[in-house]
Amino acid sequence: MARNLSAQFENISERAQAASDQLKAAAESGRDRLAGDAASARERASAAAQRLTDRAAAAEDKASSHWEEIREKWQAHVAKVRSNLDKAEEQVDAEIAQSDLDIAEAYALDAIDFALAAVDEAESAVLDAMYSRANAAAVSS
């Protein structure tokens, strides 16, 4: 069964655009709404991570186990940062709030860098798969 990898790759830009639109709208929201939006985004991210876990568990090849290892490390990192942010939210001190802001912004930049690297890797993987399909067709002709 052939997978339409190009169409799947298009989902990345569509999802990124939707997230960008959500962030623009959130920038005009109050603190309480931002807290709800952040919680909702964390739930979506957790669900996406669970889907990756389910796929990796079903897969048995070496590449999938490599991605599972990366996913596990990323999830551990995310859990640690979220835990630190949750603890920090309980503090009201302005100095601590500024420190929390610095941590949250640094984490956001790291997540963006990770996502950009993942897009580059996804593009490379799709092109490799397309080449492999073309090569298989040429060899079998």
Per residue in 89-112, pLDDT tens?
Answer: 665 567 778 888 899 899 888 888
Q: Does a structural domain hold residue 7?
A: no
Q: Does a structural domain hold residue 123?
A: yes
Predicted local distance difference test score (pLDDT) of residue 1: 39
- Residues with Cβ < 8 Å from 91, sequence gap 6 or more? 97, 100
Rounded to two decimals, what is the model's pTM? 0.57
Q: Does a structural domain hold residue 9?
A: no
Q: Does a structural domain hold residue 25?
A: no
Per residue in 1-60, pLDDT tens?
Answer: 346 878 888 888 998 998 888 888 888 888 888 888 888 888 888 888 787 777 766 665
Which residue range forms the structural domain that includes residue 80? Answer: 30-135
Q: Which residue has the higher pLDDT, 103 or 126?
A: 103
Give the angle 134-116-83 at the CA atoms, nearest 5°. Answer: 130
Predicted local distance difference test score (pLDDT) of residue 121: 83
Q: Does a structural domain hold residue 49?
A: yes
Q: Does a structural domain hold residue 15?
A: no
Q: Alpha-carbon distance 137 to 131, whole Å?
A: 10
Q: Does a structural domain hold residue 2?
A: no
Domains in the chain: how many in total?
Answer: 1
